[in-house]
Each structure stands twice: as C-alpha cells, then as structure tokens.
Amino acid sequence: MEHLSNGAINHRSGAELLTYYWGGAMVGRFAGSMFLNKFTPQKVLLTNALVAVGLLLAVVFAGDAAQAQVAKYALLAVGLFNSIMFPTIFSLATQKLGKFTADASGIICTAIVGGALIPLLQGDIITRSGKLFDFLSGAGTVLSVHCLLLQPAAARSNNQAALKK
C-alpha cells in the first residue's frame, strides 16, 4: 500500500482504501457472528461501539503527518467494528415486543432513511466547520444509540426481577 507513504489520498488510492474498509466490514461481520455465539449481544455491541468511538477519536486528534497514517488505518478499522452494529441493534430493539414487533420493525426500517440523509448533513457541517465537530458528533451518536439500547434492557431486567418476586 504505497499510497499510504506520503499521507496524500488521490481518487485511485481512495477507492483502494474503500475496498479495505468494506473487506474489514465483511471480516468483522463473520467474526461478530462467532463472538455473538459466546457473549451476549449487549456486550459485543458495547465493545465494538467503544472501539469504533476510540478509532474515531484517534482520527480526530491526529495532528502531524506521522499521525495521519494512524488516522487512515483507524478509519479503515472502523468498518471492522461497525459491521455487527446494525443487525445487533435491530434484533435487540425488536426482541420481546410481542404483537408490536412488526410495527417496531417498520419504524426502524423507516429510520434507515435518516442513515442516508444524515451523512449529507454531516458533509455540509464538516465543510463549514472542520473535521473535529463532525467526528465528535459521529462518536456521540454511536454512544447515544448504545445508551438508548442499554436503558430498555435494564428496565426489562428490573421488570422481570420484580415479576419473579
């Protein structure tokens, strides 16, 4: 990967790097399936989310040319850790909803449109304000989603414990 030697990314090398990103996502999905057989989905999701946030923070705070190399590799590694997030979040969000599962599934699928529109908004923000705000907002989004998933899981756990009494 000689295009990583000077820190510059042109169209051709960007396309090659994108291949590595999606390759990492594929590997991450297979590895994630293996980990989901051994650990709870919440733990796998939390671990992957924290690593992805850490990688994004490494990108944000990369300063000089030597750290630019780290930032490139960190961005590539995000695909590895983001790969299990959507299927895990979807299944956690719709579990134990009973007759409301179909409705919740439809709402989540409708929200996917936001996943197509938000990057356009973030692109405009990054153009106007710089990368720091944009990457921090992305890291904040990942953490917020995870906190929202943990809260209902904790509430269900407390309700089940109360029902057993």
Question: Could you report the per-residue pLDDT of 57-95, keeping only the tens digit for each?
Answer: 888 888 776 777 888 888 889 888 888 888 888 888 888
* For residue 100, pLDDT beyond 80: yes
Q: Which residue has the tokens 């939390």?
A: 46
pTM of the model: 0.62
> Could you give the C-alpha distances from 104 to 93, 96, 111, in angstroms and in order?
8, 11, 11
User: Angle CA(143)–CA(36)–CA(93) in degrees, nearest 5?
Assistant: 50
- Alpha carbons 48 and 131: distance in angstroms, whole number: 22
> Could you give the C-alpha distances from 50 to 31, 44, 85, in angstroms and in order?
17, 10, 12
Residue 4: Cβ within 10 Å count: 16
> Could you give the C-alpha distances from 18 to 1, 14, 73, in angstroms and in order?
13, 6, 11
pLDDT digits (tens, 9 = 90+) for 15-45: 888 888 888 888 988 888 889 889 988 888 8
60-80 burial, b at 16+ Cβ within 10 Å, e below that, comes to bebeeeeebeebbebbbbbbb
Mean pLDDT for all residues in the chain? 77
Contact 51, 81 (CB under 8 A): yes
Question: Which two tokens mark 7?
Answer: 């820190």
